[in-house]
A and B are shown apart, each in its own frame.
Chain A
Amino acid sequence: MDSLTDKIRTLCTGLLKDGKVDMIVGFKKGTIPMSSCPCVARTPEQAKELIWDSNCTLNLANYLTNRKEKIGVVAKGCDSRNIVNHIIENKVTRENLYIIGVPCDGMVDKRKIRALFNDDITLFSEENNKLFVETASEKKELDKQDFLKNNCTTCIHRNPVIYDELAADPVEEQKIENRFADVIKIENMSSDDKWNYFNDLIKDCIRCYACRNACPLCYCPTCFVDESNPQWVGKGQDINDVRTFHLLRAYHCAGRCTDCGACEEACPMDIHVRAFTRKLVKDSCEIFDWEPGLDPNKRPALDTFNPDDPDGFIK
């Protein structure tokens, strides 16, 4: 991982020095162990702060929306797919981007690791798929594979789909037999069980909208939840309002969601918000044979009409 950090720093310093880009969007070290923080570097000095490790979980495409500058962006597989989405949706132009692709072997799930310890983590480091985690009272060596984020375990696009330069050799893509086992499990429940499952899922939601803010797809100038005239959804903690928010937010991501997991990463209440979007990822995959963010020259499934589109639901 350190070699990746070095490579990214060298590439970005070069780009800024040569004036090829006005700014770099990447990650810098977070203020607590096992965290990273999206950052913008405008000078070669600032580029020296850039890092890459298994905590670079957020999606940097989120910081490109409507930008007009020349931007260098560090992008793992899912970020690159969201960059493609952005290009398709005219939120950024390809010419203004210099994409530094980072083949990714998965990000770690902080929650799973924190759950192993009784006290706060004071040190986190990694080497060759091993994680070294320390707290004031304990020290553990963990296998990275066992602590991947959920969405990373079902990811089949670890290598960037679009880039100008790669920071490392491409990694082998995962072969996953049943990518949607989790969705199928819910699909097989009765209506009552489904209802209760989702009620239980969102019961801790505090409507902070961190999931929306972290999502590169959620770039509307005014989100439907913030509208007051008309007010689409109540602003309180009524369970129906909370559910409406999650339901509609998910639906706005239909055929666009790359399952990058930024929403879950940002959630302060550890809510599995992807449970909503996963169903749509599965549906667009199965109904329209569509996976978003793979080709900037293809129009999205919900943006095109084809006489062969399945219409079994219309009576």
Chain B
Amino acid sequence: MGNLLEHIGIEKDRLHFSWISSAEATKFVKVAKEVTESVKALGPNNRLVKKLG
């Protein structure tokens, strides 16, 4: 899915996959930080966003 989204022009850094156990709080924090940082770097997304009205 990630590959196809990237293929049609969704930036690679917008979509992240991770597997975190409920006991892995530190990993969760680490991944959440990485995700927000890389998405912030890309700026707001306008792709595949439907504008109503």
Contact = CB atoms under 8 A, between A and B. Distances in A.
A276 B18 contact: no
Nearest to B16: A315
A314 B19 contact: yes
A299 interface: no
Contacts of B31: 315
A232 interface: no
Interface string A47-83: 0000000000000000000000000000000000000
Interface string B4-21: 111111111000111100
- The interface size bin for chain A is 20 to 34
Tell me what chain A mostly uses at the interface: helix, strand, loop, or mixed: helix
Nearest to B3: A283
A243 B49 contact: no
Contacts of B48: 240, 243-244
A250 interface: yes
B18 to A, nearest CB: 5
A191 B42 CA distance: 12
B7 A194 contact: yes
Nearest to A243: B48
Nearest to A283: B3
Interface in B1-52: 1-12, 16-19, 31, 34, 47-50
Interface stretch (A195-203, A222-230, A263-271): A195-203
Nearest to B47: A195
Interface of A: 183, 186-187, 191-198, 234, 238, 240-241, 243-244, 247, 250-251, 254, 276, 279-280, 283, 313-315
21 contacts: A186-B7, A191-B6, A191-B10, A194-B7, A194-B9, A195-B8, A195-B10, A244-B48, A247-B8, A251-B4, A276-B4, A279-B7, A280-B4, A283-B4, A314-B17, A314-B18, A314-B19, A315-B16, A315-B18, A315-B31, A315-B34
Given A191-B12, A195-B8, A279-B4, 8 more contacts: A191-B10, A194-B9, A195-B10, A197-B9, A240-B50, A243-B8, A247-B8, A313-B2
